[in-house]
Amino acid sequence: MTPDREETIQPFEVSVDRAEIEDLRTRLERTRWPDQLPDSGWEYGTDLNTLRTLCEYWREDFDWSGFETRLNRFDQYVTTIDEQRLHFYHVRSPEPDATPLLLSHGWPGSIAEFLDVLGPLADPAAHGGDPSDAFHVVAPSLPGFGFSGPTHRRGYDVPAMTDAVAELMDRLGYDRYVAQGGDWGALVTALLGANYPDRVDAIHTNMLFLNPGSIEAEDPMELLDERGRADYRETAAFRDERAAYHDIQETKPQSLAYGLTDSPAGLAGWIVEKFRAWSDCDGDLESHFQRDRLLDTVSVYWLTGTINSSMRIYFETDVEAATPNSVDVPAGHARYPAEIYKTPRGWAEEVYDIVHWNELSEGGHFAAMEVPDLFVDDLRRFVGRVE
């Protein structure tokens, strides 16, 4: 009997065609650069000199075989769920009693964010850790991102992504698991906890999605201490002053996608600015991220042509409608100091069953990539608490 195509799981490896590399190099060499006002730095957006230097490195020195090696270090697969291709890492631990763990990334991240944590999570003994902390790790490229390829229909929003990864875990034979996520992955994780409590033992997030209107208090602000009010003000300021990217991608992603899909320099400029602004780099991007690691993520978007579909998630997802009003499974939250969205704890505890709340000393929006050791340690501590 021939298996149903939608049930088939096939091995996958990243392989970059030489013609694609040459096309990229040609496009980078022919980039038409904009002007920049003197001494303006990053004030108007991505700094011209920084981007030119990065793109020159991408064109001349980026090690494509190293890129393939990094991404192919762990077992990868593809399957089809609801007529949508889904790519994922499945890193089984050598420890038979390891806890199944689902990791979900966000935008403009990718599965490349997790390259430094997959090994320690799956095989702690090989990384100086305790074997009892081991996980069987599943890390999908969310539909519309990276090697999952673009989405192909209207309405493919975060709830649809959530159902897809839940089906993936079921297909892999995991009837109980822990879920972790940041950015859009945090909303996926929250929805898994809310909608699949019979399968999800606990959730852990770097961000917390909630609707203040769902809080049962006449004045939600009265639930906040001074720290909570400061978090609220900081997040509100981000939304008011630094969220223009969100407005564009929520309303006209297709218009933006023409330039980003055609120009690798344009794509890098759009993505790298977010890595600088949303990370704990204190304005010094390359002191915080290796060039190759930044370009891993940019290259994933470039090679797969998925910047448009990845941005389309902002258009398709009604965040207010998608955000659950209550998540009853045990929840842990890692608060990194440079995170752009800081949900006040007083509100979080009205919606989530918070059993773990950790204020980290460093890190930002891309925590697994920025501070992998802290990320792994906090996740282990949370799971150890709820098991």
CATH of residue 202's domain is 3.40.50.1820
pLDDT at position 216: 82
Catalytic residue among 90, 105, 136, 365: 365
CA proximity to 221, closest of 200, 236, 240:
236
pTM assigned to the model: 0.96
pLDDT, tens digit, 9 for 90 and up, residues 217-255:
888 899 999 999 999 999 999 999 999 999 999 999 999
Would you call 133 a catalytic residue per the annotation? no
pLDDT at position 1: 32
Catalytic residue among 301, 314, 336, 352: 314
pLDDT at position 68: 98
Domain count, the chain: 1
Domain that holds residue 95: 5-386
Catalytic residue among 116, 183, 296, 378: 183
Would you call 127 a catalytic residue per the annotation? no
pLDDT at position 3: 46
pLDDT at position 129: 96
pLDDT at position 6: 61
Segments in the chain below pLDDT 70: 1-6
pLDDT at position 4: 55
End-to-end CA distance of the chain: 41
